[in-house]
Structure 1
Amino acid sequence: MSAFRITASILALATCSAAVAQDSSDPIKLTLHDWTGQLITTQLMGEVLEEAGLSVEYVQADYLAQFAGLETGDLHVAMEMWETTGRDAMDAATATGNVVNVGPTGMKAKEEWWYPTYMKERCPGLPNWEALKEPACAEAFSTAETAPKGRYLGGPVTWGGFDDERVEALDLPFEVIHAGTDAALFAELESAIQREAPVLLWVYAPHWAPAKYDGEWVEFPEYTAECYTDPAWGMNADMAYDCGKPFGEIWKVAWAGVQDKWPTAYSAVDAFTISNDDMGAMITEVDLNGKSVDDVVADWMSANEDTWKTWIN
């Protein structure tokens, strides 16, 4: 072998080693929240990063308050920021320059007030939100604790969503009761449907609930950014949030230092994509069929090896 070829080979090996060395041996911290889909996407990403030889640590974090940790670099990657509830917090964090939006997950988010179809007989005019203003309709959704006002079961307070503000801005005769957990929210839905009891609650997609049960989302005035920021916008000239929730992407976000410290991880998070159908099927396996998140993620990894390997190659 010529001296030139030997030198070229040594340089190539050195370059390759340098590229590998770019990824820190420190654990990359992925945030965990309190709903099944996010636990799945996060563990799936973590398993892929471990396949790439990276160290991963999972950290339980508040959905909105996590941005304080992402801005300082104490947390590194959050796999699900929903356009419907997290956009304001995400935009404020990215505006600092310390957090970056790593692009969409491929899933499309919808979160809104939802009711089973049998409630339409008790509240004529649905899905138009104005039907909820009728005293008879509010009473149809009431419970002993809220009567004569209707009861709306919101998600955990940490999810945001501005439901309390929406009720006030649209002058709805409803009380907002927040479920303590994701599991409690949907346990109440299942119980109500089995009894054909009144229920109006926060339902989101991708999720098994709107696929399993026959129902509809309430149709509020269409969201615009001004609705959330300008009280003068919309039908209530004195209050913001007089509209429905935004629909759209589910985003991935990261501490801005991830790309330099763990370039392989950053590229993998950027490449990650999954469909609503695939995610809905995995959530169903966990929430309805009793499988563990570990097993569901392992099954997906085994069946989709050709997909996830492209994220790290």
Structure 2
Amino acid sequence: MAEKGYVEKSFNRDTNYINDRITADGSSGWPVEPGRYRLIAARACPWANRTIIVRRLLGLEDAISMGLAGPTHDANSWTFDLDPGGVDPVLGIPRLKDAFEKRQPGYPRGITVPAIVDIPSGEVVTNDFPRITEDFFFQWKKFHREGAPDLWPADRREEMEQVMRRIYTEINNGVYRCGFAGEQQAYDEAYDRLFTALDWVSERLEGQRYLMGDSITEADVRLFTTLARFDPVYHGHFKCNRSKLSEMPVLWAYARDLFTTPGFGDTTDFAQIKKHYYVVHHDVNPTGIVPDGPDLSNWLDPHGREKLGGSPFGQGTPPGAIPEGERVSPEGNPLLGPDGLVR
């Protein structure tokens, strides 16, 4: 298949997903059922990284299994090249496209992660990434671990959804709008929008430890996955170069605070992140050369955010040990110890 190009005159994300839901009451036709579904993610992808973080924070590892696609793919599909024989050991397929085709033969849209697959039928249930993590919290509540954080506080939900909407349109998607812009005017407008929004969240975080106050919420998860990729990828590869993250004091300290919080840094694979962007986006980086930098050791510099008060998990507790098969490799993140946790 011909290699897919990413650069457009002005980038617009296709958000037409398979938007079925897995619900606690089963009214959707897909009932919550431990062991029935498999989350297919990729550590390289920021949208999929969200689901990996939330699954760990809520302790859903035993209820929802996880398969991981490799960091590179062609125009056809994400592939399971990290698994023995290049086949997902639970679904028995080499390409995520197979599960989309099982659901809808001739599936006409992009094959995206994250996706949730119904193991018995082998069909994709949904790839609607914002709803997946929301439903992990509300629909799978019966299977949350004891001490799981309140990622969607009822008294802040309306404001939080407004904050997340701006983070998505202006920051999460904004970096792509810069990187895939095919004309100078489109890039200039995208660049201005992105850094206006980064200045806005920076101001919001000057006087409070997290986006919604004193503990982490879904909003922090959604911002973190973009910040973690900023210096390794977006600053150079996507030309988001007014400032590095490490040159934005408030956001840099906030990102380091989250990175050292269980669930965040221990699910971040910098090597896969860089390989994905620099290899897959061939029309942005025709040589396919993956840069060696940046130096990652400063992620462990003291962040000082404790002085703002609060506690990451509120009245809850940190997630426990990471299953050995789900740990990020030392090559992917050299800041992790042998137990897979941030040193």
Is the TM value for this pair above 0.5? Answer: no
TM-score tier, shorter chain, comes to under 0.3
TM-score (norm 1): 0.25
Which is richer in helix? 1
More strand by share: 1
- TM-score normalised to the size of structure 2? 0.23
| Larger RCO of the pair (alpha carbons < 8 Å, separation 6+) | 1
